[in-house]
Structure 1
Amino acid sequence: MRRISLALTTAALIGTTAALAAPAVAAPAAAPVATVSAKACHEDNAAIYTDGTRLRTKASTSGAVKGQLYFGDPIRILRSSGGWDYVELKSKSKGGLSKGTRGWVSHKNIIPPFCGM
């Protein structure tokens, strides 16, 4: 993909399509790839993205602040409403809130659930 993009850019700069010709070099044989199963993607794998994120009683900035969360605090997303997520702390937060504390967090402050290996 990168080679095609470079070729198109070169062609545009030169003003010709000759650079789009495929290279005559044979592609190397693909190495065997190990099969790895990925974890299921679910709301338990989310975390806080920013330091000082406010955990609120309502899904709005007018909700009272229960406390603050910090980057990497693990959370479980229980439900969403607009740009807000109702979350539960999976462990004691770096800000001192106890495990199991629930509240609303702006969605922009959450690392989406990790769906990797």
Structure 2
Amino acid sequence: MATIKRLATVALSVSLLAGGAAALAPAASAASASTCTYNIADHNAVVGYNGVNYRTGPGTGYTSKGFLYSGDDLRIYCGKGDWYYSKLIYRSKSGLSAGTYGWIRKDMLVNLAG
């Protein structure tokens, strides 16, 4: 009986510790649309420069998913500061798949149209 209680206590402790660690760790989608502080009414945009990082979050501290090049088309959904959350409309010139979501600095775009 004491062994069962001890195992139950250990199991409870492990699950609480794991839950606490999960609560402290950022979610895989932590830098998604939920990070936005303002909405944009679904506008299309065109990348204006070559070798622009398409990032996992709104800042240079976030990982790059790859590069965008002049003429790549995006759908803009919302923003945070100087960054827009967007989706690639077509496959990028660097090979990123159509439908890839990411963040781009707004001054890297040359055309924003509704």
Q: Is TM more than 0.5 here?
A: yes
Asked whether the 8 Å contact 1:43–1:113 carries over to 2, the reply is no
Of Structure 1 and Structure 2, the greater helix share is in 2
Asked whether the 8 Å contact 1:46–1:77 carries over to 2, the reply is yes
Q: Unaligned stretches of 5+ in structure 2?
A: 1-40
**Larger radius of gyration between Structure 1 and Structure 2:** 1
CA RMSD of aligned residues (A): 1.4
Asked whether the 8 Å contact 1:89–1:101 carries over to 2, the reply is yes
Q: Normalising by the residue count of structure 2, what TM-score does the alignment of the two structures yield?
A: 0.61
Specify the code of the residue in structure 2 equivalent to 1:97. Answer: L
- 1:112 aligns to what SS in structure 2? strand
Of Structure 1 and Structure 2, the greater strand share is in 2
**Structure 1 segments (4+ residues) deviating >2 Å:** 42-45
Superimposed CA distance per residue, residues 53-92 of structure 1 (whole angstroms, 9 cap, x where no aligned partner) = 0000110100001000000101000111100001100000
**Percent identity over paired residues:** 36
> Which whole-Å CA distance do the structure 2 matches of 1:60 and 1:103 have between them?
11
Q: Normalising by the residue count of structure 1, what TM-score does the alignment of the two structures yield?
A: 0.59
Structure 2 equivalent of residue 18 of structure 1: none
